[in-house]
Protein backbone atom coordinates (compact mmCIF):
# COMPACT_ATOMS: atom_id res chain seq x y z
CA UNK A 1 0.00 0.00 0.00
CA UNK A 2 1.10 3.49 -0.68
CA UNK A 3 1.11 6.50 1.64
CA UNK A 4 0.53 9.08 2.75
CA UNK A 5 -1.41 7.24 5.43
CA UNK A 6 -4.68 8.84 6.42
CA UNK A 7 -5.16 10.05 9.95
CA UNK A 8 -8.53 9.41 11.45
CA UNK A 9 -10.47 10.39 14.52
CA UNK A 10 -12.92 7.52 14.71
CA UNK A 11 -15.04 8.41 17.70
CA UNK A 12 -15.27 11.32 20.07
CA UNK A 13 -17.17 11.12 23.33
CA UNK A 14 -17.51 13.52 26.21
CA UNK A 15 -18.75 13.20 29.76
CA UNK A 16 -19.46 16.19 31.98
CA UNK A 17 -19.15 15.54 35.69
CA UNK A 18 -20.53 17.19 38.81
CA UNK A 19 -21.50 20.82 38.67
CA UNK A 20 -20.35 23.49 41.10
CA UNK A 21 -23.79 25.05 41.30
CA UNK A 22 -27.20 23.35 41.43
CA UNK A 23 -28.12 25.30 38.29
CA UNK A 24 -25.60 23.21 36.35
CA UNK A 25 -23.91 26.22 34.76
CA UNK A 26 -20.35 25.48 35.84
CA UNK A 27 -18.92 22.03 35.31
CA UNK A 28 -16.22 21.01 37.80
CA UNK A 29 -15.00 17.97 35.92
CA UNK A 30 -15.25 16.76 32.38
CA UNK A 31 -13.74 14.03 30.24
CA UNK A 32 -13.17 13.98 26.53
CA UNK A 33 -12.48 10.58 24.98
CA UNK A 34 -11.34 9.94 21.44
CA UNK A 35 -10.28 7.01 19.29
CA UNK A 36 -7.41 7.76 16.94
CA UNK A 37 -6.32 5.58 14.04
CA UNK A 38 -3.55 5.84 11.48
CA UNK A 39 -1.86 3.63 8.92
CA UNK A 40 1.41 3.33 10.76
CA UNK A 41 2.60 3.52 14.35
CA UNK A 42 4.85 6.48 13.48
CA UNK A 43 1.92 8.49 12.08
CA UNK A 44 -0.28 7.46 15.01
CA UNK A 45 2.32 8.61 17.57
CA UNK A 46 2.58 11.95 15.78
CA UNK A 47 -1.19 12.31 15.76
CA UNK A 48 -1.37 11.52 19.49
CA UNK A 49 1.37 14.06 20.27
CA UNK A 50 -0.55 16.64 18.21
CA UNK A 51 -3.79 15.88 20.11
CA UNK A 52 -2.00 15.97 23.48
CA UNK A 53 -0.48 19.35 22.64
CA UNK A 54 -3.83 20.72 21.46
CA UNK A 55 -5.61 19.61 24.65
CA UNK A 56 -2.86 21.02 26.86
CA UNK A 57 -2.82 24.37 25.04
CA UNK A 58 -6.62 24.63 25.04
CA UNK A 59 -6.81 23.92 28.78
CA UNK A 60 -4.04 26.43 29.55
CA UNK A 61 -5.74 29.11 27.45
CA UNK A 62 -8.85 28.75 29.63
CA UNK A 63 -7.01 28.33 32.93
CA UNK A 64 -8.12 24.70 33.25
CA UNK A 65 -6.30 21.63 34.44
CA UNK A 66 -5.65 18.86 31.96
CA UNK A 67 -4.76 15.23 32.64
CA UNK A 68 -3.97 13.05 29.63
CA UNK A 69 -4.30 9.29 29.74
CA UNK A 70 -4.36 6.53 27.15
CA UNK A 71 -6.43 3.38 27.37
CA UNK A 72 -6.28 0.35 25.12
CA UNK A 73 -3.67 1.55 22.64
CA UNK A 74 -3.48 -0.66 19.57
CA UNK A 75 -0.56 -0.86 17.16
CA UNK A 76 -1.30 -0.25 13.49
CA UNK A 77 -2.18 -3.28 11.43
CA UNK A 78 0.43 -3.55 8.68
CA UNK A 79 0.56 -6.65 6.51
CA UNK A 80 3.86 -8.36 5.79
CA UNK A 81 5.02 -7.21 2.31
CA UNK A 82 6.14 -10.71 1.28
CA UNK A 83 2.82 -12.29 2.26
CA UNK A 84 0.94 -9.47 0.58
CA UNK A 85 2.86 -10.05 -2.66
CA UNK A 86 2.15 -13.78 -2.45
CA UNK A 87 -1.56 -13.19 -1.89
CA UNK A 88 -1.80 -10.77 -4.82
CA UNK A 89 0.06 -13.24 -7.06
CA UNK A 90 -2.26 -16.04 -5.90
CA UNK A 91 -5.38 -13.95 -6.59
CA UNK A 92 -4.14 -13.04 -10.09
CA UNK A 93 -3.16 -16.63 -10.95
CA UNK A 94 -6.48 -18.05 -9.75
CA UNK A 95 -8.58 -15.36 -11.42
CA UNK A 96 -10.20 -14.22 -8.19
CA UNK A 97 -11.50 -10.67 -8.42
CA UNK A 98 -9.79 -8.30 -6.02
CA UNK A 99 -8.76 -4.72 -5.44
CA UNK A 100 -6.00 -3.25 -3.33
CA UNK A 101 -7.01 -0.53 -0.91
CA UNK A 102 -4.93 2.60 -1.09
CA UNK A 103 -5.34 3.13 2.64
CA UNK A 104 -5.30 0.70 5.56
CA UNK A 105 -8.48 -0.75 6.98
CA UNK A 106 -9.83 1.71 9.55
CA UNK A 107 -11.29 -1.07 11.70
CA UNK A 108 -8.29 -3.22 12.41
CA UNK A 109 -7.68 -2.39 16.11
CA UNK A 110 -6.25 -5.45 17.86
CA UNK A 111 -5.09 -7.32 14.76
CA UNK A 112 -1.87 -5.29 14.78
CA UNK A 113 -0.79 -7.16 17.91
CA UNK A 114 -0.52 -10.41 15.95
CA UNK A 115 2.32 -8.95 13.89
CA UNK A 116 4.56 -9.14 16.95
CA UNK A 117 4.05 -12.92 16.99
CA UNK A 118 4.33 -13.82 13.31
CA UNK A 119 4.19 -12.25 9.85
CA UNK A 120 0.72 -10.74 9.41
CA UNK A 121 -1.55 -10.73 6.38
CA UNK A 122 -4.76 -8.79 6.81
CA UNK A 123 -7.39 -8.65 4.10
CA UNK A 124 -11.13 -8.26 3.81
CA UNK A 125 -13.81 -9.90 1.76
CA UNK A 126 -16.36 -7.64 0.15
CA UNK A 127 -20.03 -8.45 0.52
CA UNK A 128 -21.08 -6.23 -2.39
CA UNK A 129 -21.86 -2.59 -2.89
CA UNK A 130 -25.55 -3.10 -2.08
CA UNK A 131 -24.83 -4.69 1.33
CA UNK A 132 -25.31 -2.29 4.25
CA UNK A 133 -22.20 -1.44 6.27
CA UNK A 134 -21.20 -3.82 9.05
CA UNK A 135 -22.75 -1.93 11.98
CA UNK A 136 -25.80 -0.72 10.05
CA UNK A 137 -29.09 -1.98 11.55
CA UNK A 138 -29.98 -3.57 8.21
CA UNK A 139 -26.75 -5.57 7.91
CA UNK A 140 -27.15 -9.33 7.62
CA UNK A 141 -23.97 -11.38 7.20
CA UNK A 142 -23.98 -13.04 3.76
CA UNK A 143 -23.44 -16.70 4.75
CA UNK A 144 -22.06 -17.53 1.29
CA UNK A 145 -18.93 -15.54 2.22
CA UNK A 146 -18.00 -18.17 4.82
CA UNK A 147 -17.58 -20.93 2.23
CA UNK A 148 -15.91 -18.58 -0.26
CA UNK A 149 -13.44 -17.32 2.36
CA UNK A 150 -12.69 -20.83 3.64
CA UNK A 151 -11.96 -22.13 0.16
CA UNK A 152 -9.79 -19.15 -0.71
CA UNK A 153 -7.79 -19.41 2.53
CA UNK A 154 -7.33 -23.17 2.07
CA UNK A 155 -6.14 -22.75 -1.53
CA UNK A 156 -3.83 -19.88 -0.59
CA UNK A 157 -2.25 -21.78 2.30
CA UNK A 158 -1.77 -24.85 0.11
CA UNK A 159 -0.04 -22.61 -2.45
CA UNK A 160 2.28 -21.16 0.20
CA UNK A 161 3.14 -24.68 1.37
CA UNK A 162 3.87 -25.74 -2.20
CA UNK A 163 6.15 -22.71 -2.74
CA UNK A 164 8.06 -23.37 0.46
CA UNK A 165 8.41 -27.11 -0.27
CA UNK A 166 9.59 -26.54 -3.86
CA UNK A 167 13.29 -27.17 -4.55
CA UNK A 168 15.35 -23.99 -4.90
Specify the DSSP class assigned to residue 136.
Answer: S
User: pTM for the whole thing?
Assistant: 0.66
Is residue 11's pLDDT more than 70? no
Same domain, 41 and 116: no
Same domain, 31 and 94: no
What is the span of the domain harbouring residue 48?
A: 7-61
Q: Parallel, antiparallel, or unpaired: how do β-strands 30-38 and 7-16 relate?
A: antiparallel
Residues 39 and 5: beta-carbon distance below 8 Å: yes
Is residue 104's pLDDT more than 60? yes
Same domain, 96 and 38: no
pLDDT digits (tens, 9 = 90+) for 120-160: 888 888 888 889 988 889 999 999 899 989 999 999 999 88
Distance CA 31, CA 119 (A): 38
Same domain, 98 and 37: no
Count: domains in the chain: 2
| CA-based R_g, the chain, Å | 22
Residues 6+ apart with CB under 8 A from 34: 9, 11, 12, 13, 51
Amino acid sequence: MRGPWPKRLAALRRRLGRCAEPSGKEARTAEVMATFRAGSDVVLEGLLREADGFATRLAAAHDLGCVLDRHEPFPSTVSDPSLTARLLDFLRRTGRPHRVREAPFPWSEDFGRYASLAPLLFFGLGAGMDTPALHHPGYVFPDALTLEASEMMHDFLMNISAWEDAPA
